[in-house]
Structure 1
Amino acid sequence: MLGKCKQPEKAHSIFQNMIDEGCVVNHEAYTALLSAYSRSGLFDKAFSILEQMKNTPDCRPDVYTYSILLKSCLHVYDFDEVQALLSDMASQGIKPNTITYNTLIDAYGKAKKFAEMESTLVEMLRQQECEPDVWTMNSTLRAFGSSGQIETMEKCYEKFQCAGIQPSIKTFNILLDSYGKTGNYEKMSAVMEYMQKYHFSWTLVTYNIVIDAFGRAGDLKQMEFLFRLMQSERIKPNCVTLCLLVKAYGQAGEAEKIGGVLRFIENSDVTLDTVFFNCLVDAYGVMGCFAEMKGMLEMMERKGCKPDKITYRTMIKAYSLNNMTRQVKELRDVLASLERTSSHLKEPFS
């Protein structure tokens, strides 16, 4: 738990207390401490613990220990270290399991390393004890779909289904998102119909994906219908949902409908954040509604959200496009002050 809370030194203190009080420090304790350090990016200490485990009787690292380190290295895109860990596992006769392979496939896909992702999948299929599952399928589909390789994504989907792997709601969300972002609205509609036919209940993520898709297409009526439908299904919109509505209305020049979103917020308990207000600032700026855009700063203050660099840069861009030099200068001064404060906070305390 301390590791998850990014407090590795406190985790080490407990580990040392265990030793001092005569507790048996086993494989699980070492792995938990290694996890605490690796989660915080303290890889030197994590690898030092790995070496201790190798040299401690009854505490040898196993596939779970290595999977934790692999996941942390993949999180920071240290692919060289990943290869070194895989070689180390092989030298000790430790074989990756399904979770290990899924972690690698997912990370390679997100990094657009398709050759490595596919070779890992092939290697996984060669291992009789490592059966691909729905997580394997979802990671593969997401990788190809998010990069616009729709045909490859569809072929993979068919192959996984032929292998007996059943899709989950997450699978359909990935397909919907991929089709929506590439403008394949017919295929997106086909997925929606399939989900309805086989009684796959839509989640908040599903609604956000389809609302985004129809908003991008400028189909505001369908977008609004889906927004009403999710509420009738008792699925509460979140900040992402509202951002998508505001973005679509901004692109369509519908300032009054953005006002409707703000009225909805006043009667709801949705927790707003700076990202949402930045979306509002951008939408009003695109439409040239400068009074409303400036009013967002006051609303942010009322809602307890602080403007950030993106807020001011978005406003500066809007003013610059309309040659409003005085407002640009004022905001550039505010932004410069904010950046100075930020750089001072990053300096170490003397």
Structure 2
Amino acid sequence: MWSSKARQWLLRIPRPKRSPLHRQVPQETLIVVRTQPDHTLPTFTRLQNPRLYSTNPSFHSGEADDSNAGTVGNAIDADDSCESEASSVDLNEKGDDLQELSKQAADVDSLSSLWEESVGADDSINVFGSQEASEGVGNEIHEVDDVQVESVLSLLQSTLVEPLELSLDKMDLRLSEAFAVRVIQTDNISGENLVGFFKWASRNCQSVKCSRAVELLVLAVSNLPELWKEEAYMLWDLVKEIGVEKGMVTTVVLNDLISMFWKLGKSKAGLEVFEKFTDFGCVPDGDSYYYTIEALGKRSMFDTAWSVCEKMIDSGNLRDKEKIGKIIAFFCKGKKAKEAYLVYLVAKDKEICQERSWLDLLVHHLAKNNETVCLACELLDEYDKKSLKNATKSFADVVKGLCRIGDVKEAEKLVLRMVESGPAPAKAVFNSVITSFSRRGEMEDAIALMKVMESKGLRPDVYTYTVVMSGYAKGGMMDEAYNIFSEARKRHSRLSPATYHVLTRGYCKMEEYDKAIDIWKEMKKDGMQANTDEYNKMIQSLCLKALDWRKAEQLLEEMKEDGVPLKEITRSLIAAVKSLEEEQVQSAAISIEA
């Protein structure tokens, strides 16, 4: 059958490429007309703007006009087809041929359907379109004169001898938006020349001055590998000039400008751009706030940055979790942990996925400030079970903070919570609370916590014993202090000089100087030497309180032997006490003789 051959012939026709930019309506279309009733291959006749008929109601309703001539109809109207075939076929005389005609018409209908599936459904340029239509597409694509573009690029990429505008005036360019875009998107052009070219082009061609071209210009300049601040300010001045016309400046443009000034470290300029959103009829988005905050951070303008952050929170334009994390870190660095905590709460309310690092950072900085230690303590509940085992430092920071503000009982509860459910507390955590109890004279609590520490396999270190001894000595309980000292010597082969000094000062305070000197002897026996300050304090106590210049002189001789320097005022004090005693003896002798 001829219809089968035609179908094979049509399927061999290559499909035209689809153009994303232009969709041309062809002015002439091929339709199939059968001129003979036999089974020969139908001829193709080229008609200008044929009116096609179809069983589709849209055609009969007038919706299909000449602009749809590129679509082949599903069937040829019966009346028109009969008129076109009347010269060759007489249906009244050849009734037998009528059935054959209907059959072949059905074959034509099948062929048309196949054409629609393979070619007609494609919205690209019709392969049977006119030559004029094809040439029209080419003219639109190549409307920019490449030679003129290359001339302009050569000028902008070279060292200018005369003013740029004067050189451009001499070139008699055919400007358009596409021309300007080609130039703007070319590499290796300085920011100064890009801005200068755009200013000149926008004055000489109205189509160049459009929001798309402005966006591309700002993007090109802000992404230059070597951008000078003078070029950045030139661009900003141009945008302010263009921004007088509503709709010319977009949020994207302003965001790129803020980011540009952020990279250059020009915080005030970035803030100026941010404050121009309303004047330009633009609405800030999440990037607008983020870039402005980062730009202000370059100059540590934390208070101003917080005012911008408050606007961001009010607008609800919080960005992704990465940017939120950076904002939290920024305010923590600026000693605004409370403000960072508010950002964290808003992000949590917005169900923005939170990072473990946020908690660590917030807890650390909140615990450092006496006013926000309680907030840090509350944040500990945000840790999940999986991350608790690695949160030792965060818990330790809160324990130290609570001890610092005097809330030792709460610190003890937190330590016991760590013992029971984790994370396992370190010695430093126990020592913080034990030290606080010792300084407050609450020695029973200190000893009880020390026993809890030992029950968890943590042996108290020299520091732990020393602070407990200090608490006892401060309360005048020197026997208890010496017992702790003896226990420390059993557990540790070498103690700290501070451990001995706690006892000597305690004994001196109780005016038990002989015991104090005995502790010094034990310290020297254990291979440790008292420093100048300790000698001076001991000698002063012996002279001023005990009036025992003899023991003071013995200590002075020891200092000489050990090579420890002695302050001259201390030496004079010994001489003064000795002289005073001699005077008293002489006075007493005179009184007796009298």
Shorter chain as normaliser: what TM range?
0.5 to 0.7
Matches for 1:1-350 after TM superposition, within 5 Å: 37=333, 43-44=335-336, 61-73=357-369, 78=370, 80-87=371-378, 90=381, 97-126=391-420, 128-238=421-531, 240-242=533-535, 244-246=537-539, 248-249=541-542, 250-255=544-549, 257-258=551-552
Q: Deviations over 1:64-86 (max 9, x none)?
A: 4234313421xxxx2x3222344
Q: Aligned to 1:140, what secondary structure does the other structure show?
A: helix
Return the alpha-carbon distance in structure 1 between the equivalents of residues 298 and 480 of structure 2. Answer: 58
The amino acid across from 2:496 in the alignment is T
The answer as to whether partners of 2:338 and 2:366 remain within 8 angstroms in 1 is: no
After superposing the two structures, state which structure 1 stretch, 227-236 or 145-154, moved more. 227-236
Return the alpha-carbon distance in structure 2 between the equivalents of residues 228 and 269 of structure 1. Answer: 17
Structure 1 residues 117 and 87: CA distance shift in structure 2, 3 A: closer
Structure 1 residues 160 and 92: CA distance shift in structure 2, 3 A: closer
Return the alpha-carbon distance in structure 2 between the equivalents of residues 198 and 92 of structure 1. Answer: 37
Return the alpha-carbon distance in structure 1 between the equivalents of residues 392 and 443 of structure 2. Answer: 26
Structure 1 residues 198 and 217: CA distance shift in structure 2, 3 A: same
The answer as to whether partners of 1:204 and 1:237 remain within 8 angstroms in 2 is: yes
Q: CA deviation at 1:152?
A: 2.4
Q: CA deviation at 1:170?
A: 1.1
2:140 is matched with which residue? none
Higher relative contact order (CA 8 A, sep 6+): 1
The answer as to whether partners of 1:27 and 1:60 remain within 8 angstroms in 2 is: no
Structure 1 residues 85 and 193: CA distance shift in structure 2, 3 A: closer
Return the alpha-carbon distance in structure 1 between the equivalents of residues 298 and 557 of structure 2. Answer: 56
The answer as to whether partners of 1:142 and 1:174 remain within 8 angstroms in 2 is: yes
Return the alpha-carbon distance in structure 1 between the equivalents of residues 540 and 548 of structure 2. Answer: 10
Return the alpha-carbon distance in structure 2 between the equivalents of residues 260 and 112 of structure 1. Answer: 44
Q: CA deviation at 1:161?
A: 1.9
Structure 1 residues 242 and 53: CA distance shift in structure 2, 3 A: farther
Q: CA deviation at 1:173?
A: 0.9
Q: Structure 2: any 5+ residue segments left out of the alignment?
A: 1-293, 300-321, 581-594
Q: Aligned to 1:176, what secondary structure does the other structure show?
A: helix
The amino acid across from 2:464 in the alignment is T
- Give the percent of matched residue pairs that are identical in Structure 1 and Structure 2: 13
Structure 1 residues 65 and 150: CA distance shift in structure 2, 3 A: same
Q: Aligned to 1:132, what secondary structure does the other structure show?
A: coil
TM-score, normalization by structure 2: 0.34
The answer as to whether partners of 1:215 and 1:244 remain within 8 angstroms in 2 is: no
Q: Deviations over 1:36-57 (max 9, x none)?
A: x5xxxx623x666778899899
Question: Aligned Cα RMSD in Å?
Answer: 4.8
Q: Deviations over 1:282-327 (max 9, x none)?
A: xx6xxx97x99xxxxxxxxxxxxxxxxxxxxxxxxxxxxxxxxxxx
Return the alpha-carbon distance in structure 1 between the equivalents of residues 355 and 564 of structure 2. Answer: 48
The amino acid across from 2:394 in the alignment is T
Q: Aligned to 1:131, what secondary structure does the other structure show?
A: coil
Return the alpha-carbon distance in structure 2 between the equivalents of residues 114 and 58 of structure 1. Answer: 31
Q: Aligned to 1:43, what secondary structure does the other structure show?
A: coil
Return the alpha-carbon distance in structure 2 between the equivalents of residues 143 and 196 of structure 1. Answer: 23
Q: Structure 1: any 5+ residue segments left out of the alignment?
A: 1-11, 18-24, 293-350
Q: Deviations over 1:126-178 (max 9, x none)?
A: 5x331123223222222222222222222222232223321111111122212
Q: CA deviation at 1:244?
A: 4.2
Q: CA deviation at 1:184?
A: 2.6
Structure 1 residues 67 and 87: CA distance shift in structure 2, 3 A: closer
Q: CA deviation at 1:203?
A: 1.0
Q: Aligned to 2:545, what secondary structure does the other structure show?
A: helix
Q: Deviations over 1:92-124 (max 9, x none)?
A: 868693233333333433443233223323443
Q: Deviations over 1:205-240 (max 9, x none)?
A: 112112112222222222223223434444342355
Structure 1 residues 206 and 16: CA distance shift in structure 2, 3 A: same
Structure 1 residues 91 and 193: CA distance shift in structure 2, 3 A: closer
Return the alpha-carbon distance in structure 2 between the equivalents of residues 196 and 129 of structure 1. Answer: 32
Return the alpha-carbon distance in structure 1 between the equivalents of residues 359 and 335 of structure 2. Answer: 18
Structure with a larger share of its residues in helix: 1
- Structure whose alpha-carbon radius of gyration is higher: 2
